[in-house]
A and B are shown apart, each in its own frame.
Chain A
Amino acid sequence: MSAATDAPPATAPANPIGQSLRDSLVIARRNLIRMTRIPEMVLFGIIQPVMFVILFTYVFGGSIKVGSTTDSDVYKDFLMAGIFAQTVTFATAGSAAGIADDMQKGLVDRFRSLPMARGAVLTGRTVADLVQTSITLLVLAIVALLVGWRTGSAEPTNIGRVLAGFGLLLLLGYAFTWIGALIGLSVRTPEAATSGGIIWLFPVTFVSNAFVDPTQMTPWLRHVAEWNPFSAVVQACRELFGNPGVVQSDAWPMQHPVWATLTYSIVIVLIFRTLAVRKYRRAAG
């Protein structure tokens, strides 16, 4: 080996925003390469929601009342927005586990010793997770169509509105991965991050309009459900997909679910990105 003197020196970046974007893309690319090398993780991420779709459709379909009917076809159309929303939010666990794994393996130490943008490791991770969530959601939508889910079953809709619905799902899912990032930085092991990333999502996804009509809940629980960010995206999707089960309520997020989803998503990203990046800078590895 000859002495390594021929390498170019590290240079100061021209502009910080450009550097931040570029570094984030380098990290996102790294996480996407990892994904192709561990395809079973992507596969399990797909199998779980597919199982939910099939189980809910065939086990509960026909026994749960939507509006004034227990017709299983109506239930299917009602159900899918909830399952889609649950799927995008469960990506949180993956982000948490991935970041905790990088901490444990010493990769975060490596990154923190490099002259790179401070938030890039986390941004790169959340962006890669968004790509994975998009793939999962696409497969899930196809399965949903196969078992009989149809857009425009209750109200007329169009392709633009349907795509907007999926866009909102991905946006809220992306916002939630920042909560996952903070969890991943706060626990000691990837195992703890997986459970820590998912347990709190059960109350969030069930105390909502996803699987039952909140107007049937006790009043205080009904308020929680109607103001739950998760309910907002479900409501927005049902409206945009033209599916049944749109909640009639005075609560602002239920009346303006699209605006509510946008607002919630931005607020969650602002809060949790700030907290996570601060935590990252001080991470003790």
Chain B
Amino acid sequence: MPGAIYAEGLVKTFGDVRALDGVDLDVPEGTVLGLLGPNGAGKTTAVRCLTTLLRPDSGKAVVAGIDVLRQPNEVRRSIGLSGQFAAVDEYLTGRENLQMVGQLYQMKSRAAKARAGELLDQFHLSDAGDRPTKTYSGGMRRRLDLAAALVVSPPVMFMDEPTTGLDPRNRQELWEVIKQLVAGGTTLLLTTQYLEEADHLAHDIAVVDHGRVIARGTSDQLKARTGGERVEVVVHERDHIGTASEVLAGFGKGPTTVEEHTRKLTVPVTGGAKLLAEVIRELDTRGIEIDDIGLRRPTLDDVFLSLTGHVAEAEGESNGPAGDAGHEQQKETAK
């Protein structure tokens, strides 16, 4: 029996561009699928096809047991969509926005009003509920957008890059909300450019590139293919490379790679920050001066590099280069 979200051979072309080039998906009920890929990979197009916004050129799609192409309006009753761009009316208050969406889901006016109040409470927006959403912060707007997608507690949810452009604190907050939602039994398809996000939220990940699913599996399986965490060290003097290499070999789970001209050594490890501290102490004991050291987790770029041999390249319109995820993670861990 197919899952709550099922797609087979979805193809969509825009002129010469094959945005979807035969996408197959199967998301079992109550689970989360992370659709991971750079800008222009086809993630948004896939979501638009599954949510009735776009008609695929060919292929089959079934959501909540309903044929998307044959009964789009029945599908719309069973799904919630939270877009990449917070699709709320900026001149309406949070409450008015939620009430309007409720009414358009065919709830009675009074019921829609009550539901709007509940959702504002749940998403900690009660205090701001009667202000136009224009005055909301980015994080508040995303929460409201998510609340709007949840008005009728749909069994199947789609979130297109829910945290793109949010600061780390707001991202964490939104992750918590999404986790609770999934704990309640909702089936979720989520697109993201951040491996870390897919890691946190998704049971399964499908990596998309050029309109195709190029790999699928759990986060651990994908990371195993990419090589997991690494410690990166830049030593101050070229003469110390040999000694540093010995030190790292003692901690590493694989061969150390050395870039002579940048004085950079990289070794795969397990053990995270605790291990990093030990490495630093050991290097210090040996009197090796270092310019930089950091724990590097696999990024979208690493996944792509290992799967395709090329880094994730942004295509089409970009609201932040695809490499952003990698840079941010490096910054966070390289201190």
B-contacting residues of A (Cβ < 8 Å)? 1-13, 19, 22-23, 26, 29-30, 33-34, 37-38, 105-107, 109-116, 282, 284-285
Contacts and interface: CB of A to CB of B under 8 A. Distances in A.
A240 B53 CA distance: 48
Given A1-B123, A34-B92, A116 B104 contact: yes
12 contacts: A1-B124, A5-B184, A9-B153, A10-B107, A11-B77, A33-B91, A37-B91, A106-B86, A109-B53, A110-B88, A115-B76, A115-B77
Q: Chain A contact residues: over half helix, strand or loop, or mixed?
A: loop
Most chain A beta carbons < 10 A, residue from B51, B96, B100: B100
Contacts of B76: 113-115
Contacts of A7: 115, 118, 150-153
A38 B52 contact: no
B181 A4 contact: yes
A113 B106 contact: no
Contacts of A3: 180-181, 183-185
A113 B145 CA distance: 13
Nearest to B99: A26
B122 A4 contact: yes
B34 to A, nearest CB: 20
Contacts of B124: 1
Contacts of A282: 55
A25 to B, nearest CB: 9
B179 to A, nearest CB: 10
Interface string B122-139: 111000000010000000
Contacts of A22: 103
B104 A23 contact: yes
A8 B103 CA distance: 12
B123 A107 contact: no
B214 interface: no
B119 interface: yes
Given A8-B152, A9-B152, A23-B104, A112 B53 contact: yes
Going nearest first, the 7 A-B pairs with the smallest beta carbon separation are A3-B184, A106-B87, A110-B87, A115-B76, A10-B77, A7-B153, A106-B85
Contact of A112 (B52, B106, B154, B180): B52
B54 interface: yes
B211 interface: no
Given A105-B85, A105-B87, 18 more contacts: A1-B122, A1-B180, A3-B180, A4-B118, A4-B122, A4-B153, A4-B181, A5-B153, A6-B153, A7-B152, A9-B153, A19-B106, A33-B91, A34-B92, A113-B79, A115-B104, A284-B54, A285-B53
Contact of B104 (A11, A38, A111, A284): A111
Given A23-B104, A30-B89, A110 B115 contact: no
Nearest to A117: B104
Contacts of B151: 7
A239 B79 CA distance: 55
Given A10-B106, A23-B104, A26-B104, A2 B77 contact: no
